[in-house]
Amino acid sequence: MLLNEKLILGIESSCDDTAIALVNRHGSVRYSDVISQDHIHNAFGGVYPELASRAHVENIVGLVNGAVEKLADIKQNIEAIAVTRGPGLIGSLIVGTNLAQGLALGWGIRAIGVNHLRGHLKSVDLDLSQLSFPAVVLLISGGHTFLTYMTSHTSVKILGATRDDSVGEAFDKVGRMIGLGYPAGKEIDDLAIKGSSTISFPRPMINDGYDFSFSGLKTAVARRIEGRSDWEKADIAASFVSSVSEVVVHKCRKALQHYRPNTLAMVGGVAASPILREEAKKLCDEENVKLALPARKWSTDNAAMIAYLGWDYIDHGFDTPPIPEVNLKFEDF
């Protein structure tokens, strides 16, 4: 870290991960820490909102103290605080935004409320700048699934979105059906690599514009295993991932052929999937488009992407307050 290097402190608490990070103007991550709540929500097969808020309250001050103690000399280098203001769970968002307001008051600096979904897009440029416009952006996370075409950070066309479950939700629900813990994304991937995709699950809405639907696929998996014992977890996982990846790649290909962008960016927790990453790479090689993938550790929720996004808000003069907005859209700031 350079002496007098200006940093933004990022705070993320929109769902079930409590995270803080310090990032400089060029996207170099100087500090990052995440406390996962997976062990709390595991038993419920999904995020239990009240328990998530309580765990954020217990964890968040310690996270900030840990950073300030470890980097004792840099407190005066913190230029501003960027905190997720939405979308997310109201109780969880309140914890992060309140802390940001308190710290900003105490330290005499500004706190900016930023958009978590745009944070995911920023994750591709952490440590290494990769995004160039125009870009087709696929966001696949636990809470969201959509495809956009962007010519700049302020010009966003939403091409399609899921009509029911997000991709991450489908991974987590199928995981629960085959006896895995929550969240199940990584475990499904690990199994899928060992199994073979021998079961032909549906490819929902594959030829139906840019919208997605994953609830039928989830039901198809439930039907295939209910009351039967002639199935292997690994083959179910491999067949399920193959269906998801075929649908996702098909829609991305259509967008690449239509819009001919410079970059395809795939972001959000499910972009950590090695299978989807490999398929996205093949697609981009075939279509001669640059692929922008976040490092796997920045695919899932973290505060480094939030801090780096804070620099964009400062550069654009956006001064959105650190007040929760549960239903913030990708197009919003």
Residues of this chain that bind Zn ion (CB under 5 A):
141, 301
For residues 95 and 56, the answer to whether their CB atoms sit within 8 Å is yes
> Nearer to Zn ion by C-beta: 141 or 197?
141
Residues 6 or more apart whose CB falls under 8 angstroms from that of 315 comprise none
Enumerate residues 174-203 that contact ligand KG4 by CB under 6 A: 183-186, 189
> Nearer to ligand KG4 by C-beta: 115 or 273?
273
Q: How far apart are CA 43 and CA 119, in angstroms?
A: 29
Q: How far apart are CA 142 and CA 14, in angstroms?
A: 12
Interface with ligand KG4, residue 141, by CB under 6 A: yes
Closest to 66 (Cα-Cα) out of 104, 31, 103, 27: 31
Site string for ligand KG4, 309-328 (x = CB under 6 A): --------------------
Q: How far is the CB of 74 from ligand KG4 (least distance, A)?
A: 27
Residue type, 214: F
Q: How far is the CB of 311 from ligand KG4 (least distance, A)?
A: 21
Q: How far apart are CA 118 and CA 181, in angstroms?
A: 28
Q: How far is the CB of 325 from ligand KG4 (least distance, A)?
A: 15
For residues 193 and 242, the answer to whether their CB atoms sit within 8 Å is no
Q: Where are the alpha helices (DSSP H) in 42-194?
A: 49-70, 90-107, 116-122, 167-177, 185-194
Q: How far apart are CA 289 and CA 262, in angstroms?
A: 6
> Nearer to Zn ion by C-beta: 243 or 300?
300
> Nearer to ligand KG4 by C-beta: 208 or 278?
278
Q: How far apart are CA 166 and CA 42, in angstroms?
A: 19
- Scanning 64-72, 97-105, 191-199, 267-275 for contacts with ligand KG4 by CB under 6 A, the matching segment is 267-275
Question: Which 8-state DSSP code applies to residue 162?
Answer: B
Q: How far is the CB of 279 from ligand KG4 (least distance, A)?
A: 12
Residue type, 323: I
For residues 228 and 309, the answer to whether their CB atoms sit within 8 Å is no
Exactly one of 113, 142, 195, 261 binds ligand KG4 (CB under 6 A); that residue is 142
Interface with ligand KG4, residue 168, by CB under 6 A: yes
For residues 99 and 70, the answer to whether their CB atoms sit within 8 Å is no
Among Zn ion, ligand KG4, none, residue 197 binds (CB under 5-8 Å by kind): none
Q: How far is the CB of 13 from ligand KG4 (least distance, A)?
A: 12
> Nearer to Zn ion by C-beta: 279 or 301?
301
Q: How far is the CB of 299 from ligand KG4 (least distance, A)?
A: 7
Q: How far is the CB of 272 from Zn ion (least distance, A)?
A: 11
Q: How far apart are CA 30 and CA 219, in angstroms?
A: 44
Q: How far is the CB of 287 from ligand KG4 (least distance, A)?
A: 23
Q: What's the residue count for the chain?
A: 333
Strands of the sheet with 7-12, listed across from one edge: 29-36, 17-24, 7-12, 78-86, 110-115
> Nearer to ligand KG4 by C-beta: 38 or 315?
38
Closest to 115 (Cα-Cα) out of 82, 80, 163: 82
> Nearer to ligand KG4 by C-beta: 77 or 166?
166
Exactly one of 214, 300, 305, 322 binds ligand KG4 (CB under 6 A); that residue is 300
Exactly one of 10, 86, 119, 143 binds ligand KG4 (CB under 6 A); that residue is 143
- Interface residues with ligand KG4 (CB under 6 A) are 15, 141-143, 168, 171-172, 183-186, 189, 268-270, 272-273, 300-301
